[in-house]
Structure 1
Amino acid sequence: MSKLILTHEVTGLGEPGDVIDVKNGYARNYLIPQGFAVSWTRGGEKQIEQIKAARTAREHATIEEALDLKARLEATKVRLEVKAGREGRLFGSVKAADVAGAASAAGIGELDKRKIEIPNAIKTVGDHEATIRLRDDITATITLQVVAAK
């Protein structure tokens, strides 16, 4: 088992600054090369504090702001134009970065693509849903209207 410090949020493992134990291969082949984690060392306590301070700065400042953003997200249908074939199948799939870009283009606000979770891969046109974690205790469900680009 390898002891690591997460530098980015990893679904199912933890938040930035968390100290985790994972299997050696997972650490060596995925988490460390992708930049999601660094090896834990005795001097890592300072690094953990810096990561946690940056995380709290990125979070929405107050619960009221997060609830306001949640209300705007859930009230708006976000439209995404993507390349699609004749039967409505997409060339590829909709990614979290696409959702974040469409939300900012719709005037909702800037969203962190790492906080957007798409439960089922979106590979067809139509209405789909995605979940956005605004804070640890507040999530919003956004409706995506995927249409074929002309």
Structure 2
Amino acid sequence: MKVILLEDVKSLGKKGEIVEVNDGYARNFLLKTKKGAEANKSNMNDLKLQKANQEKIAQEQLDAAKELGKKLEEGKVTISIKTGDGGKAFGSVSSKEIASAVEEQMGLKVDKKKIQLKEQLKTLGTHMVPVKLHAKVTVELKVNVTEEA
């Protein structure tokens, strides 16, 4: 019997796949526990519509990430930190501070978890900080760290 999986089933397949299983396994386990649905014409059509909708949503998210990425690459963020004698920084700039500065200065909302800092910025000057907006979109943001007056 052909069955459309409604959720991931260990050692059988992932959600949305069409698998061939024994009639008893399908009736007694997959259909009863609602882990699968019989692969008839209406269910196959529903599956096609769901996949098309998921692809459309994924494409919209990718386009939105690319557009946000263009704006971030064109922009520049300036953050001031306290320094001591000889320009030595007292603190550091974290991804949280960069995210709030992007929102204040550029008017764009970026999650601090998407900012990929290897380590906090502890020196003055311009730094290129990678921002991963989507699995396929990673951009470089210019962060200028200046001395607080």
| TM beyond 0.5 | yes
Seen in structure 2, the aligned counterparts of structure 1 residues 66 and 98 have a Cα distance that, compared at 3 Å, is same
- Distance in 2, matches of 1:71 and 1:128, equals 18
Higher helix share: 2
Find the counterpart in structure 2 of residue 82 from structure 1: 81
Find the counterpart in structure 2 of residue 70 from structure 1: 69
Provide the alpha-carbon RMSD of the alignment: 2.0
Unaligned 5+ runs, structure 1: 1-58
Identity over aligned pairs, percent: 28
Q: Are residue 148 (structure 1) and residue 138 (structure 2) matched? A: no
Seen in structure 2, the aligned counterparts of structure 1 residues 60 and 90 have a Cα distance that, compared at 3 Å, is farther
Maintained 8 Å contact 1:60/1:134: no
Seen in structure 2, the aligned counterparts of structure 1 residues 128 and 137 have a Cα distance that, compared at 3 Å, is same
Find the counterpart in structure 2 of residue 43 from structure 1: none
Find the counterpart in structure 2 of residue 136 from structure 1: 135
Find the counterpart in structure 2 of residue 52 from structure 1: none
Maintained 8 Å contact 1:96/1:116: yes
Secondary structure, counterpart of 1:105 in structure 2: helix
- Distance in 2, matches of 1:60 and 1:110, equals 20
Q: Where in structure 2 are the equivalents of 1:17-96 lying within 5 Å?
A: 62-96=61-95
Q: TM-score, normalised by structure 2?
A: 0.56
Q: Number of residue pairs matched?
A: 92
- Distance in 2, matches of 1:107 and 1:76, equals 7
Secondary structure, counterpart of 2:106 in structure 1: coil
Secondary structure, counterpart of 2:123 in structure 1: coil
- Distance in 1, matches of 2:107 and 2:129, equals 15
Unaligned 5+ runs, structure 2: 1-57
Seen in structure 2, the aligned counterparts of structure 1 residues 117 and 96 have a Cα distance that, compared at 3 Å, is same
Secondary structure, counterpart of 2:127 in structure 1: strand
Find the counterpart in structure 1 of residue 96 from structure 2: 97
